[in-house]
Amino acid sequence: MNPACGIFPNSCRATSLLSLRVSFLHSDSVRARGGSFTSQRRPGWAVIVPGHWVGAGAGSGLCRCRGTPRYGTQPGWLPAPPGTGRLQVQLLVAWPAGLKLVHGIPLMEPIAQQWGPIEDFQAWPDDLLISTYPKAGTTWMQEIVDLILVRGDVEKACRAPTHIRIPFLEICSPPPVPSGVQQLANVPPPRVIKTHLPFQLVPKSFWENRCKVIYVARNAKDNLVSYYFFDQMNKTQPEPGPWELYLQKFMDGKLAWGSWYDHVCGYWAERANHRILYVFYEDMKEDPAREIRRVMDFLEVELPPEVLEKIVQQTSFQIMKENPMANYSSIPSVIFDQTISPFMRKGEVGDWKNHFTVAQSEAFDAHYQRRMEGTGLHFRTQI
Ligand code: PPS
């Protein structure tokens, strides 16, 4: 077990990957220097007190150093020598990775703790929302939309990583990353915003202002497999645990952002009542130019055929996988450990066949049938 778990009982997934140089101020306290942990009593501040845990955190507050003195008792942890001096330490970055219900939907704990500003978020009429269940093709659609809006200018689209160009409304990340709401306060209109919130949790102001929404949906089996691999590398999410249990959690709607079934059906049912463009991942794979044209029409942007072709190329899986502004390589490995599983993993339709056993697939299909019956919503699990 990771020793930092005691800092956030029951809900902590900690990583221990930052190595910082620290210098002693006096015999019993040390201020860390290096990395981004430089300022005291701010998010990201780290303190090392002999006899206590070392921690850094934000959002939910600095890790409190409490409990039985244990500093130096774990392998790799050095006892603090008295007096002044220098010491190389491993800094534990601890982040609450549990889920908490918000209006009945399980959300990442830091999001639940800061729900007020998210719910009260003030959308503007020309905001464009890109909404998905996690791992349905969000980043792909973000890249497409951005390239359409910059009229195919690849250099402009490479101005910043995806999460900076198109902020994630509800995200509350470990420091030094600002929350989505904080980030959006500094974005001039027209804004493009990412969300994974189910229809009923989207801030009301989006609907009151008749904002356009692009919803991307992906077949449940591939969506689930992608989520499973993502949860292994994403240290801010709960540990995925074994595949069979993860599969069951997905079916029970217990993963972050809740039930896939309710999510895809919620937007589907509301698509005629709002300005929602409903797009399927499988259709994007089958004929990207056709689906990009649908998005262009929805955004009322006309582009010449050669620019459309350029956007198709630039948003292909292989190009995006190699594009540091689209492949999330800018996120520190303490948060996304891409050595475990790359963010741009496979990008295929039908990869589920490599992970479901026959029995699992049959049980899943039977449950799926019951959950989706009568919704009029049909997905393809292969193309
Ligand atoms: S997130 O974290 O929810 O925003 O993730 P999201 O971007 O929704 O989903 C990631 C999956 O989308 C795949 N992807 C693509 N597939 C095809 N073409 C392109 N260009 C593309 N870009 C991203 C990505 O590989 C993840 O799917 P898997 O199945 O895990 O590979």
CATH number, position 116: 3.40.50.300
pTM above 0.85, yes or no: no
168 CA: nearest ligand 1 atom = 4
pLDDT (0 to 100) of residue 10: 32
Tokens encoding 338:
């891409």
Domain for residue 16, yes or no?
yes
Query: Three-state DSSP class for 375?
Result: coil
Distance 199 CA to ligand 1 centre (A): 21
How far is the C-alpha of 195 from the C-alpha of 230, rounded, in Å? 17
The reply to whether 257 and 108 lie within a common domain is yes
By alpha-carbon position, which residue is closest to atom 19 of ligand 1? 317
pLDDT (0 to 100) of residue 35: 30
Instruction: Supply the DSSP string of 300-328, one letter for each residue.
Output: T----HHHHHHHHHHTSHHHHHH-TTTSS
pLDDT (0 to 100) of residue 96: 65
136 CA: nearest ligand 1 atom = 8
- Residue 226 Cβ inside 6 Å of ligand 1? The answer reads yes
- Residue 131 Cβ inside 6 Å of ligand 1? The answer reads no
Q: Check: CB of residue 87 under 8 Å from CB of residue 98.
A: no
- Residue 344 Cβ inside 6 Å of ligand 1? The answer reads yes
- Residue 315 Cβ inside 6 Å of ligand 1? The answer reads yes
The reply to whether 128 and 193 lie within a common domain is yes
How far is the C-alpha of 281 from the C-alpha of 279, rounded, in Å? 7
Distant-in-sequence, close-in-space partners of 263: CB < 8 Å, separation ≥ 6: 133, 198, 199, 257
Counting ligand 1 atoms within 8 A of each CB, the residue from 108, 132, 140 with the most, and so the one to mutate, is: 140
Counting ligand 1 atoms within 8 A of each CB, the residue from 192, 218, 226 with the most, and so the one to mutate, is: 226
Q: On the CB side of 60, how many CA atoms lie within 13 Å of its CA?
A: 22
The reply to whether 85 and 157 lie within a common domain is no
CA 40 to chain centre: 28
How far is the C-alpha of 97 from the C-alpha of 373, rounded, in Å? 34
The reply to whether 276 and 366 lie within a common domain is yes
Distance 34 CA to ligand 1 centre (A): 33
How far is the C-alpha of 184 from the C-alpha of 193, rounded, in Å? 8
By alpha-carbon position, which residue is closest to atom 20 of ligand 1? 317
CA 143 to chain centre: 16
pLDDT (0 to 100) of residue 28: 28
346 CA: nearest ligand 1 atom = 31
Domain boundary among 76, 93, 110: 93
Q: How far is CA 10 from CA 36, 96, 178, 239, in A?
A: 27, 9, 25, 12
Q: Is 177 exposed, middle or buried (0-12, 13-18, 19+ CB in 10 A)?
A: buried
Domain boundary among 93, 112, 133: 93
Burial profile 293-327: b = 16 or more Cβ within 10 angstroms, e = fewer = bbbbebbeeebeeebbebbbebbeeebbbebebbb
By alpha-carbon position, which residue is closest to atom 16 of ligand 1? 347
How many CB atoms are located within 10 Å of the residue 122 CB? Answer: 14
- Residue 132 Cβ inside 6 Å of ligand 1? The answer reads yes
By alpha-carbon position, which residue is closest to atom 9 of ligand 1? 135
One pLDDT digit (tens) per residue for the chain, 383 residues? 233 333 322 333 433 333 333 332 222 233 333 333 322 322 233 333 333 333 333 222 222 222 222 222 232 333 333 333 333 333 444 456 789 999 999 999 889 989 999 999 999 999 999 999 999 999 999 999 999 999 999 999 999 999 999 999 999 865 555 789 999 999 999 999 999 999 999 999 999 999 999 999 999 999 999 999 999 999 788 889 999 999 999 999 999 999 999 999 999 999 999 999 999 999 999 999 999 999 999 999 999 999 999 999 999 999 999 999 999 998 877 678 899 999 999 999 999 999 999 999 999 999 999 999 999 999 999 99
CA 308 to chain centre: 28
How far is the C-alpha of 305 from the C-alpha of 311, rounded, in Å? 10
The reply to whether 23 and 162 lie within a common domain is no
Is residue 367 part of the annotated active site? The answer reads: no
By alpha-carbon position, which residue is closest to atom 27 of ligand 1? 347
pLDDT (0 to 100) of residue 83: 33
Domain for residue 233, yes or no?
yes
Domain for residue 121, yes or no?
yes
Distance 81 CA to ligand 1 centre (A): 48
pLDDT (0 to 100) of residue 98: 83
Say if strands 128-132 and 212-217 run parallel, antiparallel, or are unpaired.
parallel
CA 344 to chain centre: 13
By alpha-carbon position, which residue is closest to atom 4 of ligand 1? 138
- Residue 138 Cβ inside 6 Å of ligand 1? The answer reads yes
How far is the C-alpha of 160 from the C-alpha of 172, rounded, in Å? 19
Q: Check 52, 163, 196, 263 and give the catalytic one.
A: 196
Tokens encoding 186:
């500094």
Tokens encoding 63:
């890790």
Distance 134 CA to ligand 1 centre (A): 9
pLDDT (0 to 100) of residue 126: 97
How far is the C-alpha of 93 from the C-alpha of 64, rounded, in Å? 12
The reply to whether 205 and 70 lie within a common domain is no
pLDDT (0 to 100) of residue 308: 98
The reply to whether 225 and 246 lie within a common domain is yes
The reply to whether 205 and 325 lie within a common domain is yes
Counting ligand 1 atoms within 8 A of each CB, the residue from 344, 353, 381 with the most, and so the one to mutate, is: 344
pLDDT (0 to 100) of residue 236: 81
The reply to whether 199 and 308 lie within a common domain is yes
142 CA: nearest ligand 1 atom = 7
Query: Three-state DSSP class for 151?
Result: coil
The reply to whether 364 and 270 lie within a common domain is yes
The reply to whether 344 and 206 lie within a common domain is yes
Distance 187 CA to ligand 1 centre (A): 25
> Containing domain of residue 259, as a range?
99-372
By alpha-carbon position, which residue is closest to atom 13 of ligand 1? 347
Domain boundary among 69, 93, 117: 93
The reply to whether 35 and 120 lie within a common domain is no
Domains held by the chain: number? 2
Longest dimension (CA), the chain: 72
